[in-house]
Homo-oligomer: A and B are copies of this chain.
Amino acid sequence: MKKVRMGMVGGGPGAFIGGVHRMAANLDGKIELVCGAFSRDAEKSRLMSQELNLCPSRCYDSYQQLFEQEASLPADQRMEFVSIVTPNHLHFEIARLALESGFHVLCDKPATLTLDEARELAVVQKRSGRLYALTHTYTGYPMVVAARELVARGELGAIRKVAVEYHQGWLADTNAESGKQAAWRLNPEQAGISCCMADIGVHAANLAEFICNDGIDQLSADLNASHNRQLDDDGVVMLRFASGARGMLSASQIAVGEENNLRIRVYGEKASIDWSQEQPNSLKLMHADKPFEVLRSATDAAAELGGITRTPPGHPEGYLEAFANLYQQFAEQVAALRQQSTSGNNPLPGINEALRGMAFIETVVAASASEQKWHTMPDLTNIPNTGDSL
């Protein structure tokens, strides 16, 4: 397969997530970074471009310039998709222009800052005919995919209860705001209406919906802001799913000592599962009437999980490999479109997840501020001309 050509917007010197995206894109050797607009500061963009050994002519001063000039290159040279890794408040504008300029888009989460923007983006994407993917990274873990398949095959029976939590501790300190990562997340102008729920709560909600192939329908919420912060840094949500399953979601950035503790348990009528992001290669499968089992990614699930595990049994894989799975699947879809074909049905999160994520955030924030107990998620089916995500 000819390598898929990627451009990048954002990810300049010192930016954390840009580096993660590049490692994820590198890992399998199927994607080549050919151009970028790495910073609003042209000099910084150039420095990064040199560090990455890019051709100087394809280091751009702005994303507008990038889309314009790349579009003018011969088809077999120009960037095929753009990876957007800027601060969150810029995602929407850049993604819209990329799609309108004819490029596929792989965007760091969140897709937009508001649900209205997400609705608009959905319309643009549908019209463009271009691919759009959102890096809900945790769905790239092999055992998350295995969990989804267990549920889909009915091994758990009807789902009754979902307990999902995402606890971090890095914002516990009063002085956390002095750090770059915290400052923008706690600033409504850059982060929108929520910090904790928008940053990590939405991952937890997405994970629950992904594994259960079910949608959150109603919720009740209690968000919390420490240190007189303007945005939430902690919260609890009671969930009711479309299927009738109940659930709870807890997210926190002030849970002192927690690192990145995303954990989900799904209790079904016949069996239950338990998965933790910090031990991602194991999936506990509990039964009503026999000892619990622990499924291991490269041993018990490797065959059916196909290309998304890379190592033999007992050689742990981690976050970068999960991230790389999203890149690999996206690259396969891009390559397939070269020949007008499709690359099969994979569950890469896309525009629908963008819509649902923004709907979740807005509903949770409204619910927390309300004395009314239950709040219903908005109807997302009436996007004109929007169907499947990709």
Contacts and interface: CB of A to CB of B under 8 A. Distances in A.
Interface of A: 1-3, 16, 19-20, 22-23, 26-29, 33, 51-53, 160-161, 163, 165, 167-170, 172-173, 220, 222, 224, 226, 234, 236, 238, 240, 246-248, 250, 252, 254-261, 265, 267-272, 277-281, 285-288, 290-296, 298-300, 310-321, 370-374
Contacts of A315: 260, 277, 318-319
A260 B314 contact: yes
A258 B246 contact: no
A18 to B, nearest CB: 12
A2 to B, nearest CB: 7
A294 B320 CA distance: 23
- Listed from nearest, the 7 A-B pairs whose CB atoms lie closest are A257-B286, A260-B314, A259-B314, A316-B318, A315-B319, A259-B313, A291-B293
B173 A310 contact: no
A2 B318 contact: no
A126 B318 CA distance: 38
A311 B277 CA distance: 13
Nearest to A319: B315
Contacts of A258: 267, 272, 286, 314
B161 A298 contact: no
Given A160-B234, A259-B298, A259-B299, A169 B27 contact: no
B259 A236 contact: no
Contacts of A27: 23, 26-27, 320
11 contacts: A2-B53, A29-B52, A161-B252, A169-B272, A172-B269, A248-B250, A257-B287, A277-B314, A292-B293, A316-B318, A316-B319
Contact of A267 (B160, B252, B272, B293): B252
